[in-house]
Every structure is written in structure tokens, then in C-alpha cells.
Amino acid sequence: MPSPALTSEIKALLVSELNLSGRDPESIADDAPLFGEGGLGLDSLDALQIAMLVEERFGVRVPEGDEARPIFRSVSSLAEFVERSKSS
């Protein structure tokens, strides 16, 4: 389970960098889907932007293509990836 500080930081990054105006970072559920129905409704361009943000902010390399899909499932899965990558 990722640290609450990291998940909060990722939520704040998503809201500020993806122009999710009017969205409170704390209102985003850790396990809510980032893409598609019932989540933030992000698209493939947002995925590229998130990958660049994560690489720049946390210094980890995000894989491309199908390998990245599980990483971008939710804020929680993204935070877990960052923690795993930084510890290895």
C-alpha cells in the first residue's frame, strides 16, 4: 500500500497539471479509475502527460504501451509503481 503522502502528492499533481479545475485532489478516491467511466475520464494524451510528470517529478522511468496500462489504472497503482521504482 503506497504512502498517503505520495498518493496526496500525485492527486495534487493530476489536478494542477491536467487542468482538472474545480476538482479537489482529496475528493479523488485512491482506487478510482483514471480513465473511462466512473473515474477521472482522462484520455491517451493525459496518459502521456502523466508519464512525463511522473518521470520528471519522481525520477522514475515509466514503460510505454501495454506495460503501462496497469500502472495507470488508479492513483493507488501509480503511487505503488513510483514507490517500487524508487526502492529498486
Q: Where does residue 39 rank: exposed (0-12), middle (13-18), buried (19+ CB within 10 A)?
A: middle
Tens digits of residue pLDDT in 19-77: 887 889 999 999 999 998 778 989 989 999 999 999 999 999 999 989 999 999 999 99
Within the chain, what is the greatest distance between any pair of CA atoms?
Answer: 36
- Contact by Cβ (8 Å): 68, 62: yes
Give CATH superfamily name and number for 4-87.
ACP-like (1.10.1200.10)
Each domain of the chain, given as residue ranges in start order, spans 4-87
**CA 64 remoteness from chain centre:** 14
State the helix-helix crossing angle for 75-87 and 4-17, rounded to 10 degrees: 120
Residue with cell 502528492: 9
pLDDT for the residue 87:
84
